[in-house]
Structures are given as structure tokens and as C-alpha cells.
Amino acid sequence: MSSVEACSSALVVDLTVDELAVMTPPIETPNNSPAFRRSAHPPLNERILSSMSRKAVAAHPWHDLEIGPGAPKIFNCVVEISKGSKVKYELDKSTGLIKVDRVLYSSVVYPHNYGFIPRTLCEDNDPLDVLVIMQEPVIPGCFLRAKAIGLMPMIDQGEKDDKIIAVCADDPEYRHYTDIKEFPPHRLAEIRRFFEDYKKNENKDVAVDEILPATKAYEAIQGSILHSGELEAVVCSLAWTKWSVQNQPGSFGRMKIETYEHSLRDPTFPWRPTSAVYICPALCSITNVKFS
């Protein structure tokens, strides 16, 4: 051992661990990211975690999406089921997400994209259904502009379940259609036959009537839009995370809020302040509302 090596060994032995750490340069690894000047904003991952930890209200496709200024003729439609799909998707009302309801029992597929019209409510406490005729399938959860051309009266297990027949307003092959009478009879027969057959293997009765003209579709859409003043109440307190309201026959649970107090400041409140004037209990899980 040389004298230099001996001195180095003795020096290392005499140093403390902390002193050695100060003298030793940091070890560079190939995985280290380049050093950037620290920003005043926290890193992206920290911002994401911080955002997820807050109590925030996510946009709900049923009541946060506008129906559109052209309604009832041209309106927004949220697609639940793609054209050609055998999977029955549907909106989960509590989360606003699209969930799998079931796989169809019959050997049939949806002939066209199928969904609902936002900010509408029917007698079955669901939004108004719409079948959108267009060239291509679109993914569940997206929304598009649809143009009503007809109304298909339907009774599903003894309950009214009418469907709006529409075309995609932005599809060059179909957007020129204005009424169901312009469609080939065979195409209409295919649509009727699908809804007559798709629940047969589940032993569920479905009755489909003749498809009505566009004017009847306009009336159905207009009648299902959530309007003001149908059930008025003054809210005294909304201090709970879940609510329900007293319903009146024929009102379908529509309620107008006259005063908000602290309710709109409550992060668990299921409506955004800009759309919270009119509340529908079917759109939110509501229980125990106090009225003045």
C-alpha cells in the first residue's frame, strides 16, 4: 500500500458519516430528469392529486349539458349505445357515467346510435330517448347535434317509453331529412322490428306503434323539457349530502328554488350555480329537504 492510499484510508476512517456525505459529490444516474428552474406553481402530479382530493362537482351529461338553442327541432343528444352494438349501455344517474346494463339476449344489434336528450324528463323519470340515424357509430358518452324527424310510440312492459327518431344534423348524408315520411319504408320497418324483438328472449312485452311525423316529435320534446314554475318551493336548508323532495302528481319532481342560502356554496350540492335554479329530484339523489 502506498503512502497516499494509507492516508486516504485513515482519513475515511476518521470522518463521520455526515462529514463524508458533505465531501462526496452526488452520484448521477441515467434516469435523472434534467434540472429546470423551479416554478412558482406546484408540479403537475401534485396539482392533480390536490384537485382529486377536493370536493368538486363534476359535469353531469343529463342536467349540465344544454339541450341547445334549436330545440325542439335541433338539439344535443348524449349517445349511450353505438350503432352495431349488442351491449346495452345506459347513463348511471348518480355518477353521470355510462355503465354496462346488459348484453342483449337476442341475436340483434342496435341499428343506429341511441341515447337521450339532456334536460328532459319523462313519466318514467328518465330523460327522453332518441335514436339517431347517421352513417357511422360513435363512442358512448359523446354528444352530437340531432334533428328530430319522427316519434315512435312505444309501450315497454305496460309503461310508456316513446322514442324520438332523429338524424345527425352534421352528417351530410342524412342532415337534409326533415320528416320520417321521407325515409324508405324498409328502413322504418327495420327500426320497428328491432324494438319489437330485442327483449323477446327476456320475456318482456314491448308494443311499438306506427312512427309519427316530426311535429309529434317536437311536441314530445317540448313537453319533456324541464320548465320553470311547475312545482315551486322555498328552500330553507340544504345541509345534507343527499336530498329528496315531496313530489306532486303530474309534476315528475320538477322544483323551482326561490332562495339558495348556503346551498350553492356546499361542494356536495349536485348542481352548478349557473344551472341550479330548477332542480329535478330524478337527476340528483335528494333526501330530506326542508321547506319554509
Pair 212, 241 in one domain:
no
Pair 204, 130 in one domain:
yes
What's the chain's average pLDDT? 72
Host domain of residue 267: 232-291
Buried b (16+ CB within 10 A) or exposed e, 252-268: bbbbbbeeeeebeebee
The C-alpha atoms of residue 153 and residue 129 are separated, in whole angstroms, by 11
Predicted pLDDT at 46? 56
Q: For residue 62, is it within any domain?
A: no
Share of the chain above pLDDT 70, in %: 57
Question: Residue 168's domain is classified under what CATH number?
Answer: 3.90.80.10
The C-alpha atoms of residue 161 and residue 208 are separated, in whole angstroms, by 10
Pair 152, 132 in one domain:
yes
Active site residues: 110
Query: Which pTM was predicted?
Result: 0.63
Residue 229 pLDDT more than 70?
Answer: no
Last residue of a domain, one of 170, 189, 224: 224
SS3 label, residue 89: strand
Which tens digit of pLDDT belongs to each residue from 175-219? 999 999 999 999 999 999 999 998 888 888 899 999 999 999 999
Predicted pLDDT at 259? 35
Pair 205, 285 in one domain:
no
Pair 107, 203 in one domain:
yes
> Count of domains in the chain?
2
- Per the listing, cell 343527499 goes with 242
Residue 94 CB neighbours (<10 A): 12
The C-alpha atoms of residue 284 and residue 93 are separated, in whole angstroms, by 7
Pair 105, 161 in one domain:
yes
Predicted pLDDT at 235? 35
Pair 160, 109 in one domain:
yes
